[in-house]
């Protein structure tokens, strides 16, 4: 049996429980707004989740009004990428990944 370390562990389920990822993403927002691309990069590099898990986690957080999108979001907008922030907080420029 091949040993598995934290560095090689990865969530492979089709519909994983995203509770931990949502908590981690909210923690990232404590320092201010962040671009969606930075969340995806964070999910890949700093968690056991995949970048594709960031989208449904963020949608869940938006649905319960934990996060909201700032200026530059929505269809047809151009860079800078949309900024996500904790709901009810002032918008600051997105941080780079």
**Integer CA distances (angstroms), 97 to 41, 42, 53, in order:** 7, 8, 17
The residue ranking higher by pLDDT, 86 or 89, is 86
Beta strand spans in 7-93 (E): 34-35, 67-69, 83-86
**Integer CA distances (angstroms), 96 to 32, 36, 37, 82, in order:** 11, 10, 9, 12
Instruction: Specify the pLDDT at position 94.
Output: 47
pLDDT tens readout for residues 6-23: 444 556 667 889 999 999
Against a cut of 0.75, is the pTM above it?
A: no
Instruction: Specify the pLDDT at position 20.
Output: 94
Hey, what domains does the chain have and what are their CATH numbers? Answer: 19-86 (1.10.10.10)
**Are the C-beta atoms of 18 and 57 separated by less than 8 Å?**
yes
Confidence of residue 66 (pLDDT cuts 50, 70, 90): very high
């Amino acid at each position: 049996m091949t040993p598995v370390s934290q560095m090689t562990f990865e969530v492979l389920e089709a519909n994983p429980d995203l509770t931990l990822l949502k908590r981690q993403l909210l923690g990232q927002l404590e320092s201010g707004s962040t671009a969606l691309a930075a969340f995806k990069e964070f999910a890949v590099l700093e968690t056991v989740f995949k970048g594709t898990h960031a989208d449904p986690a963020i949608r869940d957080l938006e649905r319960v009004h934990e996060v909201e999108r700032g200026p530059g979001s929505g269809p047809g907008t151009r860079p800078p990428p949309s900024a996500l922030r904790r709901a009810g907080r002032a918008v600051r420029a997105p941080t780079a990944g």
